[in-house]
Amino acid sequence: MTITTCEYRPGLEGIPATQSSISYVDGQHGILEYRGIRIEEIARSSSFLESAYLLIWGGLPTEQDLKAFEHEIQYHRRLKYRIRDMMKCFPESGHPMDALQACAAALGLFHSRRELSDPAYVQNAVVRLIAKIPTMVAAFKMMRKGNDPVQPRDDLGYAANFLYMLNEQEPDPLAARIFDVCLMLHAEHTINASTFSAMVTASTLTDPYAVVASAVGTLAGPLHGGANEEVIAMLKQIGSVENVRPYIDQRIANKAKIMGFGHRVYKVKDPRAAILQGLAEQLFDKVGRDDYYDIALELELVVEEKLGHKGVYPNVDFYSGLVYRKLGIPTDLFTPIFAIARVAGWLAHWKEQIGKNRIFRPTQIYQGPHNQAYVPLEKRLQLWEK
């Protein structure tokens, strides 16, 4: 057997993990495409459910196909009462991402048949997960305060219905459209941490509910989906436009991360951040702007001045929290909303993975000792004392 020397790269940076036709990123030029279509065009012309269909099934749907897909999603929005009963037992202080991970996994208990070669099984799993995850997030938001969950409304679209379930108030059409675009922007982004987690889980040929649950757990971390929550906390800490420059100077001096800035791939401004900034402007023009946005604008200018030469620019998390906050969404729901959108990308990669599956089994570079003696239990204390 020939043993080859492996090059170790922390975080697998730059190492291809798969071949995919789902999405494409050019970090040097700020390009993101879904199935070859630029994200700017998708945000301008499409809807979240249409873009989800594009990602998962590989092409834009016909009008008939899209209506059928939307109808199926609408029909499956409601949760089984046993899942609602389970959610009643969750602690009120629990994070919504933990609740969502548990609920996604529990959904698999009701649909545990793993017929991955059956197109009907794949179709039904896709529909259930896209339909029910928003309901899970909204239900936990209500139930942790002792309130009954708001039932979905069949006459509302996907984005409008979620906003309605948060507080039982029908959203303004502009707010619903802006939120729908936000979901499109977060739906897919090549092999990020949560998508890789989904692919590894999928490669074992477990059910798609476990795949999504594993991805939700990965997304919850502050270095991934949780960053948008941290951006709002940062803006609150800065407090005023005048404090921006001293804050950035201190962060740079301490070599500390500036939340919402920098990206492993993008070396220019994230195209999704540019679109989100435009959405924020539309929303603020209608409902009024606040100090947080003024702080954010100054923050972007100062960071570009001091770190732009290093390729540090706003990423998707920088403006998304500002938009969600203006829509009246609690801060700790920002990352679950990321999951609502990204489930489309996770399922696209799940479907692609099982179509050409080989279980992931990376290697390692061992750095420990060899040929160590086994020390009997009665002699170990003496060994430690020496």
Catalytic residue numbers, as ranges: 263, 317
Grouping H, G, I as helix, E, B as strand and the rest as coil, residue 263 is coil
Residues 322 and 296: beta-carbon distance below 8 Å: yes
Give CA 188 to chain center in angstroms: 8
| Strand arrangement of the beta sheet that strand 37-38 belongs to | 23-26, 31-34, 37-38
Dihedral Cα 277, 280, 284, 286, nearest 10 deg = 120
Q: Specify the pairing of strand 31-34 against strand 23-26.
A: antiparallel
**Under 8 Å between Cβ of 263 and 318:** no
Tokens 């906050």 belong to 325
User: Half-sphere exposure of residue 283, counting CA atoms within 13 Å on the CB side?
Assistant: 27
Query: How far lies 202's CA from each of 58, 244, 311, 349, in Å?
Result: 19, 44, 34, 9
Name the one residue in this structure whose structure tokens are 């099982």.
354
Q: Please enumerate in sequence order all residues whose Cβ is within 8 A of that of 301, keeping only pairs 6 or more positions apart, or say none.
A: none
H or E element that contains 140: helix 119-143
What is d(CA 6, CA 247) in angstroms, rounded to the nearest whole number? 41
DSSP 170-202: PPPHHHHHHHHHHHHHHS--SS-HHHHHHHHHH
Distance between CA atoms of residues 185 and 58, nearest Å: 17
